[in-house]
Amino acid sequence: MSNSTLAAEPAAATHAAPAASTTTTGAANHTTFAVILSLSFCHLLNDMMQSLVPALYPILKESYALSFSQIGLITLAFQCTASMLQPVVGLYTDKKPQPYSLMVGMGFTLVGLLLMSRADSYPLILLAAALIGMGSSVFHPEASRVARMAAGGRYGLAQSLFQVGGNMGSAAGPLLAAFIVVPHGQHSIVWFSAAALVAMVVLFQVGAWYSRRRAAQKPVVRGKTMTAATIPTLSRGRVAVAVAILVALLFSKNVYSASLGSYFTFYLIAKFGIGVQAAQFYLFAFLVGIVAGTIAGGAVGDRVGRIPVMWFSILGALPFALMLPYANLFWTGVLAVAVAMIMASAFSAILVYAQELVPGRVGLVAGMFFGFSFGLGGLGAAALGELADWTSIETVYKVTPFLLLLGGLTAFLPRQPGEPRNLHKMLAGSPS
């Protein structure tokens, strides 16, 4: 992406309809794909580097004689720094946008990678994982804000394109680990620091576009010049209940995802006796399924509404998740990919729905929900590690699918503007 490409966008953007409108054709025509795809590419690099942490688990477990509980704490250290800091970053940048903070956040990831490659003790491993989490705490809320700014009204598509970059990076991590990290060991992680440097260069250009775009827009004085599209349509109580339901949906989705993301390789090795590299390929297939589901979920959500996508995503995965612990190796792979595709379609729908619930707080909402996503996954990984130590890794996969029953809470979500009314009545039974 060149500077000239980004420089041309603010001029075009000044003629677009208000960014908050999801139905204006003119806004949709001004979707800035150069910026969105640049963010998606950096999301790919960011999450590829992050995914090296769980890909290292078998090596770290053997090298440092770690228990499953200690493995879970590594995930907790990584994800809790992101979980706690992302809402704070989002709230701060809602009030004082920082166009170049994306590049700074990537710098934390770079330092964390370098430390992880040289860490020779368990405390240093935890510190390195925490630094990588801090990088995510800055990157995700601000990148989500810029993606929405460049969406031109097609918010579901923009968020899914942004998110799919991360999914592709997560999928590439285990594959790269199988060919590079597993054969060459922990120190080979240092080679991936080049990806962080590339991302910092691209994000510098995105920051420059973001700065020019803000300068081209007229400042909005809260309470005086708010557009109709930014005025909340629901009471605070109903918004609070809806947010609580969305958090519950994320809890069910991410704790189950943590069982596959953090322990799938251990499960395959323990149950089927395959090698570490072969298990990484199965994990790669699972993560590719997430990529496909994310793209489909964003596009479908813009057409049929967010709520139907949430219904399908969480409850639709339940039958496959229940069958998975009883399948042979081939069908375990097939079912894991099916679960990944179905469940992945929910995140962009949940995020865009939440941003519409709390207008004018794009960074805070993105920080909260990316943060909840990381934090709940980390807590889930730690708890599931304890469960695996007490019982067995197979027990984890027999118990966790029942969390997906929380998807039934979708019935209590209020209909949002633009949500197909008849379809929502049919699925949720709520006319308002």
Query: Percentage of the chain with pLDDT > 70?
Result: 81
Helix H or strand E segment including 88:
helix 68-95
Name the residue among 283, 247, 317 with its Cα closest to residue 87.
247
Question: 117: which 2 tokens?
Answer: 């490659």
Taking the alpha carbons of 321, 325, 329, 330 in that order, is the dihedral positive or negative? negative
- The position carrying tokens 């039958």 is 319
What pLDDT is stored for residue 324 in this prediction? 92
Q: Is the pLDDT of residue 298 over 50?
A: yes
Residue type at 138 in one-letter notation? V
Mean pLDDT of 115-133: 89
Question: 122: which 2 tokens?
Answer: 């368990």
Highest mean pLDDT among 11-25, 98-112, 173-187, 230-244: 98-112
Phi-psi region of 121 (alpha: psi -120 to 50; beta: other; left: phi over 0): beta
**What is the per-residue pLDDT across 160-190, written as a single tens digit (0 to 9) for each?**
888 888 878 877 777 787 788 778 877 888 8
DSSP state letter for 24: -
**What is the per-residue pLDDT across 329-362, written as a single tens digit (0 to 9) for each?**
999 999 999 998 888 877 777 878 887 787 767 7
Question: 233: which 2 tokens?
Answer: 């349509």
Cα torsion through 308, 376, 133, 146, rounded to 10: 20
Contacts of 75 (CB under 8 A, 6+ apart): 53, 54, 129, 258, 262, 377, 378, 381, 382, 385
Q: Is the pLDDT of residue 20 over 60?
A: no
Report the interhelical angle of 193-216 vs 33-55 (nearest 10°).
150
Could you tell me the maximum CA-CA distance found in the chain, to the nearest angstrom?
66
- State the alpha helices, DSSP H only, in 316-400: 318-323, 329-344, 346-357, 362-390, 393-399
Phi-psi region of 414 (alpha: psi -120 to 50; beta: other; left: phi over 0): beta
Highest mean pLDDT among 56-70, 174-188, 296-310: 56-70
Contacts of 365 (CB under 8 A, 6+ apart): 90, 351, 354, 355, 357, 358
Architecture of domain 29-217+236-428: Up-down Bundle (1.20)
Give the least confident one: 91-95, 237-241, 310-314, 375-379: 375-379
Report how far residue 246's alpha carbon sits from residue 253's, in angstroms, rounded to the nearest whole number.
10
Query: Percentage of the chain with pLDDT > 90?
Result: 13
Whole-structure pTM value: 0.65
Cα torsion through 82, 93, 244, 225, rounded to 10: -170
**What is the per-residue pLDDT across 206-251, written as a single tens digit (0 to 9) for each?**
988 888 887 776 544 444 444 444 445 677 788 888 888 888 888 8
- State the alpha helices, DSSP H only, in 181-274: 182-184, 193-216, 236-272
Domain definitions of the chain by residue range: 29-217+236-428
Count other C-beta atoms under 10 Å from residue 144's C-beta: 28
Report whether 157 contacts 105 (CB < 8 A): no
Burial class (CB in 10 A: 0-12, 13-18, 19+), 188: middle
> Which residue has better confidence, 84 or 110?
110
**What is the per-residue pLDDT across 192-212, written as a single tens digit (0 to 9) for each?**
889 999 999 999 999 888 888
Highest mean pLDDT among 69-73, 280-284, 320-324: 320-324
Report how far residue 173's alpha carbon sits from residue 164's, in angstroms, rounded to the nearest whole number.
14
**Residue 27: half-sphere exposure toward Cβ, Cα within 13 Å:** 17
Report how far residue 357's alpha carbon sits from residue 205's, in angstroms, rounded to the nearest whole number.
31
Q: Is the pLDDT of residue 426 over 60?
A: no
Report whether 295 contacts 160 (CB < 8 A): yes
What pLDDT is stored for residue 404 in this prediction? 85
What pLDDT is stored for residue 332 in this prediction? 92
Average model confidence (pLDDT) across the chain = 77
